[in-house]
């Protein structure tokens, strides 16, 4: 077997990040008796499928392949709702029944902790753990409160447009996987709302009709970069953020007037201006053209201010389930001192504050601290404070003037915790740690270090924040 070979394989398992697992026989082993099995990870295949697949990577103990054709489909497959499925990078599992999606996510979290983390089936608190049932998403479509679309002069030609001669022009939509230049020019998306798709199409027609230039990442010329739509799920707020390479006041005023006339539901419009060469939808500064420049949304009883560049949980309704799991694991009685690390805009710190004595949030990003303090005022919270601290370095000097924590809540980015932060947490030695993660692999790595420092992993619960994707949120409880 070699790279480029086409093989036929039956898939019987499912791995993290959505790869089907199958085995092929390579012939007799060294004893000449039993055939050796070789593991193949197959992108785009599900348990129960029999597929033909092309080998794209070959190692000593395994291979990776991409599906060429589904020969016998799994009974778990369903017809995807979106016509762009398979080309777009937004949804990877829309052709898999949702109940099986969450079942596989549960299995994957368990496998990661057992195989990568080294935890076993022993009772919780010894060398094993209890894994509670995953919390499914209330909505499997139209669940996102934020969508980020990109402008490009280059289009990724769709399968149903394969006869097109030219893929250069004016396009706005989503990136295809592993391609940062070409855009899948879409006219609908089932992740945010029908109104969001209407705003996308109107904006395309508005700027294309005026021959407005698109920013080119190679020549660093052109005006339009991104269209970001933020739509609150528990209030009626709707923000449009147009990211451009420069200011154009007359054009923006014309666009704003046209948008408000067509879509009176829009409550604020901002223009982020980015001089950066990199293709990121965050401006160096912003100009507010309509409304307050903010959205407001609620998680539970709490209201949060969201700026154009704020981090806010993308699935607002599911965020409440996530935060309730944190509260459930923390088992607060009102006397606790809590440290909330990677506190962002303060959503978790504020959410748990009513059941705690004091909460201290630690965050490195200055704008997030600014948003967090504004959220304290909005909710009239008086027992929460925020500290700007670099969590890639030791944050212990900031704690010298603070009471010692009874509980530490961790919610790091996908890369997990820095080893220095792990050491700091161990030195602070809280009785309880609640670890929230959007990446079970790095979470298992960090928890293994915490367990090595004297903690016991008691239980965990996955929460599905992103239907039709591989992403999994997971909450874990550790006790001393």
| Catalytic annotation, residues | 438
Radius of gyration over every alpha carbon of the chain, rounded to an integer in angstroms: 25
Alpha carbons 124 and 462: distance in angstroms, whole number = 16
- Look at the chain and count its residues: 480
Phi, psi of 100 (to 5 degrees): -75, -35
Q: Within 13 Å, how many C-alpha atoms sit on residue 294's CB side?
A: 14
Q: Are 77 and 96 a contacting pair, CB within 8 Å?
A: yes
Encode 244-282: b = buried (16+ Cβ within 10 Å), e = exposed. bbeebeebbeebbeebbeeeeebbbbbbbbbeeeebebb
Question: Apex CA 284: angle with CA 280 and CA 285, to 5°?
Answer: 125
Alpha carbons 402 and 1: distance in angstroms, whole number = 62
Q: Is 293 exposed, middle or buried (0-12, 13-18, 19+ CB in 10 A)?
A: middle
Q: Which of 198, 216, 215 is nearest to 206 (CA)?
A: 198
Q: Are 470 and 89 a contacting pair, CB within 8 Å?
A: no
Q: Are 386 and 367 a contacting pair, CB within 8 Å?
A: no
Q: Is 95 exposed, middle or buried (0-12, 13-18, 19+ CB in 10 A)?
A: buried
The continuous run of DSSP H or E covering 179 comes out as none
């Amino acid at each position: 077997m070699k790279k480029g070979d086409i093989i036929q394989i039956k898939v019987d398992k499912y791995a993290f990040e959505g790869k089907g697992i199958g085995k092929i026989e390579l012939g007799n082993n060294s004893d000449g008796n039993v055939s050796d099995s070789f593991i193949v990870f197959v992108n785009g295949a599900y348990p129960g499928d029999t597929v033909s697949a092309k080998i794209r990577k070959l190692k000593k103990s395994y291979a990776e392949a991409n599906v060429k054709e589904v020969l016998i489909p799994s009974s778990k497959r369903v017809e995807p709702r979106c016509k762009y499925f398979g080309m777009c990078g937004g949804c990877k599992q829309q052709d898999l029944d949702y109940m099986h999606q969450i079942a596989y996510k549960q299995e994957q979290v368990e496998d990661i902790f057992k195989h990568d983390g080294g935890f076993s089936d022993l009772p919780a608190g010894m060398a094993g753990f209890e894994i509670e049932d995953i919390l499914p998403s209330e909505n499997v479509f139209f669940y996102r409160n934020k969508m980020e679309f990109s402008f490009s002069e280059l289009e990724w030609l769709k399968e149903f447009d394969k006869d097109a001669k030219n893929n250069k022009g004016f396009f706005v939509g989503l990136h295809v996987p592993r391609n940062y230049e070409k855009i899948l020019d879409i006219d609908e998306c089932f992740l945010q709302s029908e109104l969001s798709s209407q705003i996308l199409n109107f904006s395309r027609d508005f700027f294309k009709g005026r021959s407005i230039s698109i920013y080119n990442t190679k020549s660093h010329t052109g005006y339009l970069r991104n269209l970001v739509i933020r739509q609150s799920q528990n209030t009626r707020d709707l923000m449009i953020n147009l990211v451009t390479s420069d200011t154009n006041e007359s054009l923006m005023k014309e666009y704003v007037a046209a948008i408000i006339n067509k879509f009176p539901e829009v409550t604020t419009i901002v223009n982020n201006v980015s001089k950066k060469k990199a293709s990121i939808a965050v401006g160096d500064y912003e100009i507010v053209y309509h409304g307050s420049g903010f959205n407001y949304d609620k998680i539970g009883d709490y209201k949060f201010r969201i700026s154009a560049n704020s981090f806010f949980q993308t699935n607002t309704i599911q965020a409440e389930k996530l935060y309730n799991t944190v509260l459930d694991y923390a088992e607060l009685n009102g006397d606790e001192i809590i440290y909330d690390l990677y506190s962002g805009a303060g959503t978790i710190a504020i959410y748990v504050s009513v059941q705690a004595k004091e909460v201290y949030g630690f965050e490195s990003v200055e704008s997030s601290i600014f948003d967090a303090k504004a959220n304290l005022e909005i909710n009239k919270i008086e027992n929460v404070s925020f500290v700007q601290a670099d969590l890639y370095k030791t944050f212990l000097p900031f704690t010298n003037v603070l009471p010692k924590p009874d509980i530490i809540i961790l919610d790091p980015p996908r890369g997990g915790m820095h080893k220095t932060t792990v050491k700091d947490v161990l030195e602070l030695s809280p009785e309880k740690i609640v670890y929230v993660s959007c990446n079970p692999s790095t979470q298992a790595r960090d928890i293994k270090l915490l367990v090595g420092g004297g903690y016991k992993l008691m239980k965990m619960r996955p929460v599905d924040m992103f239907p039709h994707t591989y992403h999994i949120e997971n909450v874990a409880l550790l006790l001393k």
